[in-house]
């Protein structure tokens, strides 16, 4: 039994990932996040180590609008199963309906989610493709660290898997500091990294090499839709990036190294002290 040591020497965990049983109930728990690395956690560390560590240690809770998450879950649970969707609606009735009452009808955000669902439902190709096992938990080891993932739709027979993504506008451009130019929503949100990780974890869990596809649907008045593939070189680059950044991120997570401050997120701004003068020519641009 080992413990994960954090900065204030508080022992957060008392089990190793070999004794911790990852399942549907604890997948999104703190315990799972201490035992396993995941795309969202790693991605957050890449954006700001200090804010992510503080969040993991319950020292900081960023303000986040719950609607986009509910929107995503509304859609995901629908395509998972009828039962999952009913359970989701029942558990979130007060947030989904006007005045929290079913008889008053869905709030406009979720009417839109319903529209996105219908858009995909009307696509014969989508219905034929999206046939695998839903919400499959996968585990594996990437460069010496245990990772976890959850696959929206895994089809081992056809050797492919799908991830459903909702997006404001599939064709909107996003500034990328890394690429010093504009990029698309998928690269901007690190979905190429997510697909590279999932592909590897599926291989380690089931011994099958699968091809990833993103099913994107937009939240526009008339929803757009697309089946997107991910170039192999992008996934290779993302795995290289994980190999390069992971040792430090892991040491930060374990309290062995100090986290860096990105300097511009909510957490960093709230901890900033006005103790230096900056020339207007040196204002950092993001």
Chain positions contacting Zn ion, by CB under 5 A: 48, 51, 262, 265, 268
Minimal distance, residue 41 CB to Zn ion, in Å? 15
Exposure class string for 247-278: b at 16+ Cβ within 10 A, else e? eebbebbebeeebeebeebebeeeeeeeeeee
DSSP string, 40-94: HHHHHHHH-HHHHHHHHTTS------HHHHHHHHHHHHHHH-HHHHHHHHHHTHH
Check residue 240 and give left, alpha or beta (phi > 0: left; psi -120 to 50: alpha).
Answer: alpha
Nearer to Zn ion, 51 or 153 (CB): 51
Q: Which of 26, 24, 123 is nearest to 77 (CA)?
A: 24
Nearer to Zn ion, 3 or 262 (CB): 262
Task: Return the number of the residue (145 or 265) whose C-beta is nearest Zn ion.
Answer: 265
How far apart are CB 199 and Zn ion at their closest, in Å? 30
49 vs 192 by CB, closer to Zn ion:
49
For the bound state, the minimum distance from the C-beta of residue 252 to Zn ion, rounded and expressed in Å, comes to 13
Rounded to whole angstroms, the Cα distance separating 178 from 129 reads 34
Nearer to Zn ion, 4 or 262 (CB): 262
Please report how close the Cβ of residue 272 comes to Zn ion at its closest, in angstroms: 10
Task: Report the residue number, 51 or 197, with the smaller CB distance to Zn ion.
Answer: 51
In the block, residue with structure tokens 């995503």: 72
Beta bridge partners of 229: 213
Instruction: Spell out the residues 6+ positions from residue 140 whose beta carbon is closer than 8 angstroms to its own.
Output: 146, 147, 200, 201, 203, 204, 205
Q: Which residues contact 180 (CB under 8 A, 6 or more apart)?
A: none
Instruction: Rank residues 146 and 257 by Cβ distance to Zn ion and give the closer one.
Output: 257
Q: How far is the CB of 284 from Zn ion (least distance, A)?
A: 13
Strands 225-229 and 160-167, bridge-based pairing? unpaired
Q: Which is nearer to Zn ion, 48 or 151 (CB)?
A: 48
User: Cβ(47)–Cβ(170) under 8 Å?
Assistant: no
For 65-82, letters b (16+ CB in 10 Å) and e give eeeeebbebbbbbbbbee
- Rounded-to-integer distance, Cα 192 and Cα 161, Å: 14
Q: How far is the CB of 56 from Zn ion (least distance, A)?
A: 14
Residue 7 beta carbon to Zn ion: minimum distance, rounded to whole angstroms: 17
* Residue 257 CB, nearest approach to Zn ion (Å): 16
């Amino acid at each position: 039994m080992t413990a994960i040591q954090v900065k204030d020497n508080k022992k957060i965990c008392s089990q190793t990932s070999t004794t911790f049983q990852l399942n549907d109930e604890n997948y999104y728990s703190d315990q799972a996040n201490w035992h396993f690395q995941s795309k969202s956690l790693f991605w957050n560390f890449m954006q700001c180590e200090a804010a992510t560590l503080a969040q993991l240690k319950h020292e900081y809770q960023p303000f986040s609008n719950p609607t986009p998450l509910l929107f995503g879950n509304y859609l995901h649970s629908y395509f998972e199963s009828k039962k999952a969707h009913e359970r989701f609606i029942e558990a979130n009735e007060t947030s989904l309906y006007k005045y929290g009452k079913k008889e008053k009808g869905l709030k406009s955000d979720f009417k839109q989610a319903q529209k996105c669902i219908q858009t995909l439902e009307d696509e014969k190709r989508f219905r034929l493709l999206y046939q695998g096992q839903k919400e499959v938990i996968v585990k594996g080891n990437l460069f010496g660290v245990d990772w976890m993932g959850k696959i929206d739709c895994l089809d081992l027979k056809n050797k492919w898997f799908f991830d459903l993504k909702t997006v404001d506008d599939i064709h909107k451009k996003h500034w990328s500091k890394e690429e010093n130019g504009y990029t698309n929503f998928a690269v901007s949100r690190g979905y190429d990294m997510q697909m590279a990780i999932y592909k590897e974890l599926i291989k380690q869990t089931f011994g099958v090499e699968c091809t990833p596809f993103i099913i994107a649907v937009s939240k526009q008045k008339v929803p757009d839709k697309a089946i997107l593939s991910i170039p192999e070189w992008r996934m290779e680059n993302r795995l290289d990036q994980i190999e390069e950044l992971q040792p430090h991120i892991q040491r930060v997570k374990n309290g062995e190294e100090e986290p860096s401050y990105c300097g511009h997120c909510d957490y960093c701004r709230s901890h900033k002290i006005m103790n230096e003068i900056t020339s207007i020519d040196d204002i950092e641009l993001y």
